[in-house]
Amino acid sequence: MKLSEEEIDNIFTECFNELRRNECNDFTHVLIKIFKSICYIIFISFVIYTILYHHQPTLSLVMRNVQGFIYPGLKILRLLSVPIISAYPSLSELYDESCLVQNPYFIVPDMDCYPCENVYSVIDLTGFTNISLYQSGIPYIIKTDLEPVNISTLQDLYIKYKSTFDQDAKRIYSRNQSLRTIEDSLTNELHETEHILWRINRMTPARILRTVFPKPYTISQWSGQSPERYIIIDGENSEPYYIPDMECSYVYTIQGSGRRTILLRPSKECLGLCRTVSVVLNPSEVLFYNWWYWRPISVPFASSKEKSVTYIGSYC
């Protein structure tokens, strides 16, 4: 039987289509198997977590038997990670992170909200001698004799310690796509709606910043300060934003220059028991609060004509 060229082409076309269908079916089958495996792992992890969370004897038994394997396991994991770190050096920045993934659904059940229940305003405790109030969890401000810290101050500091900041604290967050490093932010004219978040979580740049933002006198020498801190630069009309949660629960916010209005909103656990209070932070003033009870929002001050520089740290 003699086939025409058109018939031969149709046969080959049908064969290729059949091969493609088989490949698609195989790929779909592999995806389904991977999806099922992930679902099984999630389900088993959830069951194990539920049992350990709600049954203390089981948790104690597991911890007793697993504890001896923690250090050897981490040592093996560290050795296995060396080739990966060598290939991708930027991953070494994760070493200084205390938390890689934050749980947005975390909530403390039955939390006692007494530090915020009877708070109607942010009080001024400048020069107050009752140290117990400083650690009570209620929000307060103090006035200091801190020299103004503006963008020019940060520029001079950056130029002086450029190599340190470029190595250990160069990254920022900004809505402006052209600003990606602290050098970009300090060498360009900032718009009145600009918002720049500069995060520092290494000790060397943190010590440098303490030369212009010294530790407030209300913080006890026995308190441990977290190396994580933020410097926030805002234009005169930057949009409101939540102040980031810190590693330690006691947070202090130093206003270096400009003015900002801080709205202290109760946390989810205390939303029905506490009310929102606000305070205007003037230059050299420090606001203290406990982020277990408050979720502060920074809002531009209505009549401010100066860019704002705010320094945020925490202690335990």
Domain assignment present for residue 61? The answer is yes
Domain assignment present for residue 98? The answer is no
Residue 213: pLDDT band with limits 50, 70, 90: very high
The verdict on 81 and 127 lying in the same domain is no
Mean pLDDT of 203-209: 90
The verdict on 128 and 81 lying in the same domain is no
pLDDT value at 26 more than 80: no
Domain assignment present for residue 109? The answer is no
The verdict on 121 and 180 lying in the same domain is yes
The verdict on 18 and 119 lying in the same domain is no
Distance separating alpha carbons of residues 149 and 204, to the nearest angstrom: 20
The verdict on 143 and 219 lying in the same domain is yes
**Cβ-count burial of 164 within 10 angstroms (0-12 exposed, 13-18 middle, 19+ buried)?**
middle
Domain span holding position 34: 5-87
Number of domains in the chain: 2
Return the number of other C-beta atoms located less than 10 Å from residue 158's C-beta: 20
Residue 217: pLDDT band with limits 50, 70, 90: confident
Q: Which of 315, 306, 99, 126 is nearest to 206 (CA)?
A: 315
For residue 18, what pLDDT is reported? 64
For residue 161, what pLDDT is reported? 92
Tens digit of each residue's pLDDT (9 = 90 or more) over 253-296: 999 999 999 999 998 888 888 999 999 999 999 999 998 899 99
The verdict on 152 and 268 lying in the same domain is yes
Tens digit of each residue's pLDDT (9 = 90 or more) over 120-168: 999 888 877 666 666 777 899 999 998 999 999 999 999 999 999 888 8
The verdict on 60 and 140 lying in the same domain is no
- Residue 71 bridge partners (DSSP): none
The verdict on 55 and 173 lying in the same domain is no
For residue 133, what pLDDT is reported? 65
Domain assignment present for residue 135? The answer is yes
The verdict on 251 and 172 lying in the same domain is yes
The verdict on 160 and 16 lying in the same domain is no
- % of the chain beyond a pLDDT of 90: 28
Boundary (domain end) residue, out of 87, 122, 147: 87
| Amino acid (one-letter) located at 315 | Y
Q: Measure the CA angle with vertex 155, ends 153 and 160; round to 5°.
A: 100
The verdict on 129 and 275 lying in the same domain is yes
pTM reported for the whole predicted model? 0.73
| Amino acid (one-letter) located at 137 | G
Domain assignment present for residue 261? The answer is yes
Boundary (domain end) residue, out of 87, 106, 134: 87
Q: What is the CATH number of the domain that holds 192?
A: 2.60.120.650
Contact assessment for residue 285 and residue 140, using Cβ atoms and an 8 Å cutoff: no
Domain assignment present for residue 81? The answer is yes
Domain assignment present for residue 103? The answer is no
Domain assignment present for residue 105? The answer is no
The verdict on 159 and 302 lying in the same domain is yes
